[in-house]
Amino acid sequence: MRDAIEGFRAGFRHANWYGKTRRQFWAWFGEQEAALLARAADEAERAELEDELLESRAMADDYGYAAPPELDDVPIEAPAALVDLAELEARVSALRSHMPAILAMDEADQMEAFAGVADEILESAGEHREHIWSELQCILRDAGLIPGDDEPCDRG
């Protein structure tokens, strides 16, 4: 079963999902989960497998597949070495506009949902990474998800 779990997790690689949506990823994930559970030889193996699958779900969330429902049908993009600053800022702006939906989630899920989208933006930031990282930190600070002083974020 270990090889099957490792193969399943290898399917999480972003390169497998470029051009596809998170909705497609989670449908695939559910099908794979069901197929693995069906292979369990007995209840003990099933219980062990359920623990592995729970960890796999957490890994998928950490890899950025967890996102607000509005992004379920947005294609997952490959990081582009030459994404220009205007496009990056448009993506940051879109994430900023989704913050009310993220903040409406359970508190435990908020940072994961934010990170899922933010990580994709950062992957394609290239030479603009520091500036984009700063913008993302401002979003988190403005939303009260990370501490900050009373001064407004420097967006210059």
3-state per-residue secondary structure call for 2-67: HHHHHHHHHCCCHHHCECCEHHHHHHHHHHHHHHHHHCCCCHHHHHHHHHHHHHHHHHHHHHHHCC
The pLDDT tens digits for 93-149 are 999 999 998 999 888 888 988 988 898 888 888 788 899 999 999 999 999 889 877
Domain that residue 107 falls in: 79-142
Residue 63's alpha-carbon distances to 45, 142, 147, 151, 155, in angstroms, are 26, 24, 24, 32, 28
Residues 128 and 90 in one domain: yes
On whether residue 7 sits in a domain, the answer given is yes
153 in any annotated domain: no
In a domain, 14, yes or no: yes
49-94 pLDDT, tens per residue? 999 999 999 888 877 888 888 889 988 876 655 578 888 999 999 9
User: What's the structural domain count of the chain?
Assistant: 2
Q: What is this structure's pTM?
A: 0.52
Do 56 and 105 lie in a common domain? Answer: no
12 close to 32: Cβ distance less than 8 angstroms: no
DSSP single-letter state for residue 135: H
- Same domain for 83 and 109, yes or no, is yes
Residues 30 and 8 in one domain: yes
**Which of 65, 96, 114 is the last residue in one of the domains?**
65
**46 in any annotated domain:** yes
Q: Is 151 part of a structural domain of the chain?
A: no
